[in-house]
Amino acid sequence: MIVADADLFAGARWLHICGSSLSAGEKMREACYEAVRLAEGAGCLIAFDPNLRPELLGGEEALRQICAPILDVATLVLPSGAEAQVLTGTSDPETACQALLERGVQYVALKRGAAGCTIFTADEVVPVPGFSVDAVDPTGAGDCFDAGFVVGLIEQLPLEEVGRLANACGALAATAMGPMEGAAWRSEVDSFIGRRQ
């Protein structure tokens, strides 16, 4: 069995879990659960990108059960509209995001692709428009969005700026072929945002 090491989380502020890892088999899933337990014990916050693979997990109900241990402790969830609906069993993305907040999630970053994102908290709903780019390959764009969002929260930026940073990271990722090739340095992201203001 894969075992997480508690020392990995010393000094860490966030642990990010991706749903595709939960889909990679029972051993990987148990390792994710253990990592979350250890990270929480070290004072980390938990971010979760559902990145759902219902076909690998035996359908929507099985998927909800598998994701539940992560959702129960997540501070941040970063779903697409369809993923939010599947996770909550609701009929529209906005209702689904509210249901995640009611579950105890503090931030829901609803990904809307080229249209940007909408950030939901208990106190406000913040729509943040996307950036127009010549998209080549969306692979990895969601992961880059996630990274930008967490960085924005770490830096305690206003929520609109958090969303703008995340949108820029995702947009830039889509401009290159391959899952990692479009991951930009922070200076490149800031320059990109500056040119669009």
pLDDT (tens digit, 0 to 9) for every residue of the chain, 197 residues total? 455 677 888 889 999 999 888 888 889 999 999 999 999 999 999 999 998 766 656 678 888 899 999 999 999 999 999 999 999 999 999 999 999 999 999 999 999 999 999 999 999 999 999 999 999 998 899 999 999 999 999 999 999 999 999 999 999 999 999 888 889 999 999 999 998 87
pTM for the structure as a whole: 0.93
Q: Which residue has the tokens 């997540």?
A: 74
158: CB partners within 8 A, 6+ apart: none
Q: Which two tokens stand for residue 19?
A: 């749903």
Q: Is 72 a catalytic residue?
A: no
CATH code for 1-111?
3.40.1190.20
Question: What pLDDT score does 8 carry?
Answer: 84
- How many separate helices (H) and strands (E) can be counted in the chain? 9, 6
Q: Which of 5, 123, 143, 146 is catalytic?
A: 143
Question: What pLDDT score does 79 carry?
Answer: 97
CA–CA distance, 75 with 33 (Å, rounded to integer): 15
Q: Which residue has the tokens 């929520």?
A: 159
Q: Are 143 and 182 in contact (CB under 8 A)?
A: no
DSSP string, 27-44: HHHHHHHHHHHHHHHTT-
Domain boundaries, the chain: 1-111, 128-197
Across 6-139, where does the E strand assignment appear?
Answer: 14-18, 45-49, 76-77, 107-111, 116-120, 125-129
